[in-house]
Amino acid sequence: MIAVALIATGASSGCTKDADPAARVWKRRCAACHGPDGAGRTRFAEGRPWADLTDGKWKHAPDRESLRRLVAEGDPASPMPPFAGTLTPEEIDAIVDWTLALAGRASGKTSQ
């Protein structure tokens, strides 16, 4: 989690953009539901354990292709919205990597 914060603030101090586009997308498009750290402890995700992206447990297959499709098309059976019109394919690629990194970072340790 500290690593996330460091990456998000980044080395550049430009005021409009984060150094990492994924950090920017995460903050603007995902954090409201999944939480800044991806653990899903928000009122939008309450009662939806799959919204915890840090627990290493997946409803959808945790490979790039499946997650790219999920982020683009959303999951109609859940509050997870589609982002195909909102994010560019490059941003979706970046946020998928970010998502996979959240789980990787958290696995093996419980910080809370």
Single out the residue of 17, 20, 26, 21 nearest to residue 6, CA to CA. Answer: 20
User: Which one of 2-10, 11-19, 72-80, 101-109 is the stretch in contact with ligand HEC (CB under 6 A)?
Assistant: 72-80
Instruction: Give the residue with the Cβ less far from ligand HEC, 39 or 67.
Output: 67
Between the CA of residue 94 and those of 21, 45, 68, 112, what are the distances in Å? 7, 22, 10, 27
Instruction: Give the residue with the Cβ less far from ligand HEC, 10 or 93.
Output: 93
Angstrom distance (rounded) from CA 29 to CA 88: 13
- Nearest approach in angstroms of CB 104 to ligand HEC is 13
Q: Tell which phi-psi region holds residue 38, choosing left (phi > 0), alpha (psi between -120 and 50) or beta.
A: left
Q: Does 95 bind ligand HEC (CB under 6 A)?
A: yes
Q: Does 58 bind ligand HEC (CB under 6 A)?
A: yes
Q: Does 75 bind ligand HEC (CB under 6 A)?
A: yes
